[in-house]
Amino acid sequence: MPTPEHPLRKLGFLTIGLFDPADPAAGHQSTLEIIELGERLGFDSAWLRHRHLQFGISSPVAVMAAASQRTSRIELGTAVTPLGWENPLRLAEDLATVDLLSGGRINPGLSVGEPMNYDTVKHELYPDTAGVEDFSYARVNRLARLIAGEKVRDFSGKQGVVEEFSNRVEPHSAGLRSRLWYGAASMKSAVWAGGNGFNLLSSSVIFPDKDQEPDFAGVQQSQIRAYREAAAQSGNTARASQGLVVIPTDTASPAQREKYQRYVDERTPRTRAPQGPKGMMFAQDIIGTSDDIAEQLYAHRGFQEVDEVAFALPFSFDHEDYVQILTDIAGKLGPALGWKPAG
């Protein structure tokens, strides 16, 4: 529990990157530069949002591979990769490859469920199997087994003069299985993640149970506690991270402060009541000086349950805005939470 006496242990950030449809390369380069900056500032981790058929990063595995060659220490993760779009066997190969290239710094964050707007894309995504694809927890468990090195088939050994085959996913990256995260937004998913040996990513979006009071911090706290209890009962390690949107303004210009406040004001109404038939809840963005933000975080019941965070960068800001926000987080907010830069 982070308190003024018990410091925050790990500090990371989450970005969707910049994306101009007319010039997508520039946004990807900006993302790589932001990750490099994060390493220089001492952040422990950098995480990439995953977007399909949107203006964002559609291939974070490729971006992590590039970032791994431009950094040496910072951990690289996805938050989260929706497995409904992926073949677990092929994804296991890609993740293991990038993990080895990075020196064991990859933290894949995952989720399951039917792909968003599935009816509009299933004819291209799964033209022959759309009606029978399994989007349950079994899909992510399959990925975890393959990454752990469990047998894929009985066949292995030499065939012919040159070809040699393995019965498991190659390359195998030892330790990667322990760095798999599950993005849980409900009590059911949090308990499942704890019981099945996944680390927990708890973000700024959650779904309360029907009998729970619609208080974001309280619901998030109960989910993280349930996750830890399920992990303990199953003998698993219980590593949990929280990801709220925080916008420190310590060194922001007047124009930036005005822009940031406008962004928060536009998003605040959705935080006042549960949204949609499932009662989706959004956390309120936290904006202000680092001291003000630290005070609010210390009082946040969800934050009180973790000792590592991956603060989410706002959408659609400019590169220089992200530089200012990250610099303030590392230089002012992190220390206010007791964190010390890595390296």
pLDDT in tens, 50-90: 999 999 999 999 999 999 999 999 999 999 999 999 999 99
Res 1 pLDDT > 60: no
Res 334 pLDDT > 60: yes
- Sole residue written with tokens 């989706």: 280
Least confident of 15-19, 179-183, 197-201, 254-258: 15-19
Res 136 pLDDT > 60: yes
Per-residue pLDDT at 256:
98
**Taken in order 318, 56, 112, 212, is the CA torsion positive or negative?**
positive
248 phi and psi, to 5 degrees? Answer: -75, 140
One-letter identity of residue 242: Q
Res 245 pLDDT > 90: yes
pLDDT-based confidence at residue 92 (cuts at 50, 70, 90) = very high
Interval 255-282: pLDDT, tens: 999 999 999 999 999 999 999 999 999 9
Contact status, residue 102 vs residue 76, Cβ threshold 8 Å = yes
Measured distance CA(209)–CA(205) in Å, rounded: 14
The residue among 31, 91, 39, 92 whose CA lies nearest residue 66 is 31
pLDDT-based confidence at residue 332 (cuts at 50, 70, 90) = very high
Q: In this structure, what token pair is assigned to residue 300?
A: 């946040």
Contact status, residue 50 vs residue 80, Cβ threshold 8 Å = yes
State whether residue 15 is helix, strand or coil. Answer: strand
- Sole residue written with tokens 């390690």: 237
Q: Which of 120-126's residues contact partners 24+ apart within 8 Å by CB, and which partners?
A: 121/52, 121/53, 125/85
Res 4 pLDDT > 70: no
Residues 6+ apart with CB under 8 A from 236: 194, 195, 196, 197
| Mean pLDDT calculated for residue range 321-337 | 98
What is the overall mean pLDDT for the chain? 96
Per-residue pLDDT at 343:
77
